[in-house]
Each structure stands twice: as C-alpha cells, then as structure tokens.
Amino acid sequence: MRITRPDGTQEIDLAAVDLFDPKLYSQGDPHAVWHALRERAPVHRQTLADGRSFWSVTKYHDVNDVLRDHTRFTSAKGTLLSILGTDDPAGSKMMAASDPPVHTAMREPMAKVLSHKSLKRRSPQIRAIVHRMLAPLLDGGVWDIGAAAADFPMAFTGSLMGLPEQDWPRLAKLTTMAVAPSDSEFQEGSSHGTLVAAHHELFDYFSRHVRRHRGGDDLIGFLIGMEAGGRRLRHDEIVYNCYSLLLGANVTTPHAIASSVLALTEHPEEYRRLLADPALVPGAVDEGLRWSSPANHFMRYAVDDLELRGVEIKKGEALVTWLGSANRDEDVFSDPYRFDITRRPNRHVAFGFGPHYCIGAPLAKISLNLLFEEIVQVVRQFEVAGPVEHLESNFVAGIKHLPLTAELNDGAAGLLQAAQGRLVTLA
C-alpha cells in the first residue's frame, strides 16, 4: 500500500468510497480516503453491489473501543472482510474468532508459550536466519527485499510449529493466497477459487499434520496437549488455531520489513540517525510498525443496537476498524505523516488492541529488532532500484516487490561471510 501525505485538497467523494476493493491498496490512495473519513465521517457506512454493508471506523479511540469491548462488538461471527455477511465456520473454535470466556481459555496458556521471555531464547536461531536473508547483499547486485522478506517469518515460525522445512515455501505462498486472492501473482484460478483452494489446502495440511504428530516440544504438540476451560482442544480447534497462528506470522511481518526499509530510504536522515546510534533500533521498529500497519483491518459485529459517535448501529451490523487510519489520527499522533524513529509516545495499534492484541507480537518484535540490528551493522545506504509493487489485498497492507541496491559498511562483507560460515558449520 502506498503511504502518502494527504493535504486535504483531494476531492474525495465519500459516496463513492470503496474500502472493500483490494485494488485501492495496490493502486490507489487509501490514506487520502481515510483522512477524509476521519474529518468528515469517522463512522461511515458502505454498501456493496450485492447488498452487503459495513461501517468503517477510522478514528484511533473509536477503533480501540470497538476492538476492546467484546460485550458490544463480537469477534465470533468473523473478523475479516473476506467473509463479510457470512458466519465464520471458525467462530468460537479459533482464538482469533472467539469472545471471552472461550477466547480467554485458549489465549492464556498459548500466551505463556509465545511470551517474550519464552521466545527470547530463540534469538540465536532468528539471527542466523537474518544472516541468511542478508547474504545476497554480498553479490552487489539488485536485491528484492519484498520477495526475501516473504520467506523470513516462515523460517522461524515453521521451526517453532515443527513443520518440515520442505513445506515452508508452499505454506508461505498459501497464506498470501488466503489474504490476497485477487492479486494476479498469487492467483490460482479465479479470486474466489484461489481463496477457497488456499483455505482447503491449509486446513487439510494441518489436519493431516496434527493426526500424525508424534509428540515433541513444538507449538503444535503444545496445542494438542493444551487444556482450555478444563478440557483438551478438539481436532478442528487445533487445526483452526494452527492456521491462524501461521497466517498471523506470515502475512504481516514481511510487510513491516519492506515498508520500514522503504521509509528509511525515503527519509535518509532517519537512517543516518539509526546508523549513528543503533540503540534507536527498537524505536525505529515501532515507528515502522505504525507507519506500515501491515494488518490493515479487523472486523466486528454489533451485539445489540448501539450508538458510535452519534451514529446508530443496528444489532448484527458489521464494523470494520482500519488500523492504518487509526495510526495516522492527528488527535493522537503529532505530525502523523512524519516518519520519526524517536517518536514518543508511540501507542500504535499495528498489533490490534484489547483482548485480541496479536499473540504473536513478541515474536514479531524480537525478529524485527534482530533484523534491523543486523541491517544497521551491514548497510550504509539503500537505494531503490526498480518499481515498488504493492500487494492487492484489503486485509494486508503490503509490498510484494522492492528492488534495492546497497552500499555496505566497512567490514560488513567479513561479518556476513563469517556468519555464513557459522551457518554451514551448524548445518
């Protein structure tokens, strides 16, 4: 998704706004639309040609209210626009598509396994994956960080879940097919056919994997043995949660990487600050997450008739919270269209908010911090070396191709070569 700086002069016809259209995020200017909505209609109804409709929620505090309060806004009917108007078959079976107490019973044991403390010990493994990802920079040619980043989270998530390495490339593609079924690069048939096929293959894959699992300390083994609400998870619940965990890891982290690197090339003064003081990496990662907001939206349904900003919402109507808009809300973020690696405070909602705050956030932040620590050690300067291609998806705000060239720091070649040597030895 292109990240622009709206100046309020664009003529935005709110009656013609189509936030459902995936092409808006690959070819259009959603930030101009969101800016207009925040100013003129922060709770805005859109009706599709087939009669389905949803309310767009674009202000930061309203987004937080919708995501936080499960008593008024339920997740159990579905959380993504791709299934607007139909009950989610994973409702109350998958943690992401459930409300307390079901959600709490699933989340509490899983959160312990996926906590920062539990995952920090995997840092050496993740750093090795980072070195492997950066190794092509040694060739001195054009490097597509968008394509490289697409495989990055699969390498450690696949290991964490105990999935065979030979399956990782196909699983990475399937998760992208599931969130961008109309993107021609990932389509296998029609848009709808791609979505159905991706879901079918992923669910079938995890169903077979769970059935033949023979124990171990991987995440799937934990789910098989886990108790939620005083009972073990059923087979379908394990499969749905495997799908959700893999999807969450694979379709957001890569786009935070590519968008953050692009922002640093477009704001070279910020990258120079980072080079001068690598201790700023955590702040740069947080600003990159706010800036990119890779999870573009989350959906909820009204539990009862209610009012939001003076707008009457009827029971059963869908509300879509736009995270990229909330993260540019002028009432919360000073000069929100400025990329600032020292932004304080930076209470972005890139990982959502409330009880459904992304359970994979600790792993994402560990991996992103390690990656940018190494980038600062290796790269003096990036230059964009070709067209930037954006993912066609209304759920993931992503960059699928970002060709770059890099000028390396003194000693960077030796550092990467030594790291590659250690990888070979470990193998």
pLDDT in tens, 6-29: 876 678 999 999 999 999 999 999
Domain assignment present for 4: no
Q: Which residue has the tokens 């930030």?
A: 31
How many whole angstroms separate alpha carbon 46 and alpha carbon 13? 12
| Total domains present in the chain | 1
Q: Are strands 318-322 and 53-57 parallel, antiparallel or unpaired?
A: parallel
For 178, residues 6+ apart whose C-beta sits below 8 A from its C-beta are 195, 198, 199, 202, 247, 251
Point out which residues pair with 73 in neighbouring strands: 302
pLDDT digits (tens, 9 = 90+) for 170-205: 999 999 999 999 999 999 999 999 999 999 999 999
**Each residue's pLDDT tens digit, 414-424:** 877 776 655 44
The answer to whether the CB of 324 falls within 8 A of the CB of 350 is no
Flag whether 7 is in a domain.
no
pLDDT number for residue 420? 62
Q: What's the mean pLDDT when you consider all of the chain?
A: 94
Can you give the pLDDT at residue 251? 83
**What is the layout of strands, in order, in the sheet containing 143-144?**
143-144, 403-408, 379-384
- What pLDDT, on a 0 to 100 scale, did the predictor assign at position 422? 54
- Rounded-to-integer distance, Cα 285 and Cα 271, Å: 12
352: DSSP letter: -
Mean pLDDT, range 30-52, rounded to an integer: 97
Nearest-angstrom CA–CA distance, 416 and 140: 13
> For the chain, how big is the Rg over CA atoms in Å?
21
What are 366's two structure tokens? 């560990």
Over residues 279-304, the pLDDT tens digits come to 999 999 999 999 999 999 999 999 99
Model pLDDT for residues 55-77, shown as the tens digit of each residue: 999 999 999 999 999 999 999 99
At 30 the pLDDT is: 96
**Alpha-carbon gap, residue 292 to 107, rounded angstroms:** 26
For residue 227, pLDDT beyond 90: yes
pLDDT, position 44? 98
- The burial class, CB within 10 Å (0-12 / 13-18 / 19+), for 49 is exposed
Whether residue 6 contacts residue 31, with contact meaning beta carbons closer than 8 Å, is answered with yes
pLDDT in tens, 143-158: 999 999 999 999 999 9
pLDDT at 6: 87
Domain range for 207 is 14-426
Adjacent-strand bridge partners of 171: none
In a domain, 278, yes or no: yes
Supply the pLDDT for residue 383: 97
Record the pTM: 0.95
Under a CB-based contact definition with an 8 Å cutoff, are residues 368 and 285 in contact? yes
Query: What was the pLDDT predicted at 343?
Result: 97
Report residue 426's pLDDT band, with 50, 70 and 90 as the boundaries.
very low
Could you say which DSSP state residue 396 is in?
A: B
Question: In 10 A of CB 51, how many CB atoms?
Answer: 7
Q: Which helix (H) or strand (E) holds 380?
A: strand 379-384
At 371-412, the pLDDT tens digits run: 999 999 999 999 999 999 999 999 999 999 999 999 999 888
Residue found under tokens 């040694």: 138
Q: What is the mean pLDDT of residues 254-272?
A: 97
Amino acid at 25: Y
Average pLDDT over residues 220-240: 95
How far apart CA 26 and CA 356 sit, in angstroms, is 27
Q: CA-to-CA distance for 256 and 224, rounded, in angstroms? A: 31
Q: How far apart are the first and last CA of the chain?
A: 38
> To 10 degrees, the CA torsion angle through 148, 154, 157, 159?
-110
User: Is 167 among the domain residues?
Assistant: yes
Residue 423 host element (H or E) = helix 412-426
What pLDDT does 216 receive? 79
Distance CA 80, CA 300 (A): 8
What CATH number is given to the structural domain containing 268? 1.10.630.10
* Range 71-94 average pLDDT: 96
Helix spans in 191-232 (H)? 191-211, 219-225
- The model's pLDDT over 320-344, given as tens digits with 9 standing for 90+, comes to 999 999 999 999 999 999 999 999 9
Give the integer Cα–Cα distance in Å for 208 and 220: 12
Asked if residue 427 has pLDDT above 50, the reply is: no
Note the pLDDT of residue 133: 94
Residue 3 belongs to some domain of the structure: no
Distance of CA 376 to the CA centre of its chain: 23
Supply the pLDDT for residue 252: 84
